[in-house]
Chains A and B, each alone.
Chain A
Amino acid sequence: MKTAVIVFPGSNRDRDMFRALELVTGSRPQSIWHADATLPDVDLVVVPGGFSYGDYLRSGAIAARSPILKDLVAKAAQGVTVLGVCNGFQILTEAGLLPGALMRNAGLNFVCKEVLLETVTDATRFSLKFEKGQVWRCPVAHHDGNYFADADTLKALEDNGQVVFRYANGTNPNGSINDIAGIMNGAGNVLGMMPHPENLVEPLHGGTDGRLLFESLLSKAA
């Protein structure tokens, strides 16, 4: 599986993502600078975590207007798989690739901890290696992870099976509506999530729960 990671000024989880992707796919991801005009021909494009543009204006707002985003939107429309983690999720919502918005955490604090996630559906390319309803450990580290969407959008997300990951067992760290941790678009090829699966992929991390997400994508691409 060929992969690429977009790097913005202020990205800081890009190398964690490189390492996780290389570990699971066996080949090194391409690093794509935000000012580039086109993405290479790959199976998966990842928008990583961090603080692109210092979170100026709104988290992800400036990055979502970067030159490379035009091509990301075009590639997503062609069906290329896109994964946004943390700041990447914020960027995908700001770019209109995913509905809703990520607001300041309800508790106002930056949260850096481990939460439990429930895989709501295993019928997606991002979650097919999980069991439906599986609860797994995953780290979070964010200040603006409080997912919000209006009632109609929320109902559509729930009814169409677009809510892929939910905070489980009362571990919602940010006040996110319906305990939403990760959603995908209607076509099923773009997923955004606040937690960091790339940070729980090898024993030295203290667990490998996050690997299943990358292995899902690998098996889909194979």
Chain B
Amino acid sequence: MKARVTVTLKNGVLDPQGKAIEGALGGLGFDGVASVRQGKVFDVEMRHTEAAAAQAELAEICEKLLANTVIEDYAIELM
């Protein structure tokens, strides 16, 4: 079973890289961009065949390693 984990900075946590990208897009003339937040994507292939088991293990994986929950949120999407 394939899964995609997305890790993003929590709201209110300054994202200087997102800000720099935002500035560069403005410089390129993309006037439609209001703001950019940068994050990370992990494509994980799980051995589980049951979605609930995969979801539960991925949540633990996110808490223990993939996300630093002091500053980051995560979202799990089973594909």
Contacts and interface: CB of A to CB of B under 8 A. Distances in A.
Interface in A120-173: 146, 148-150
Contacts of B14: 103, 106, 146, 148, 175
A221 interface: no
Q: Which one of B16, B17, B70 has the highest number of Cβ atoms from chain A below 10 Å of its Cβ?
A: B70
Interface residues of A, number: 20
Secondary structure class of chain B's binding surface, majority of residues? helix
Contacts, number: 36
Contacts of A175: 14, 16
A65 B65 contact: yes
A100 B66 CA distance: 16
Nearest to A149: B70
Contacts of B20: 108
Contacts of A148: 13-14, 70-71
A15 interface: no
Interface in B29-65: 64-65
A61 interface: yes
B71 A104 contact: no
Contacts of A146: 14, 16
A169 B34 CA distance: 35
A99 B13 CA distance: 16
A172 to B, nearest CB: 14
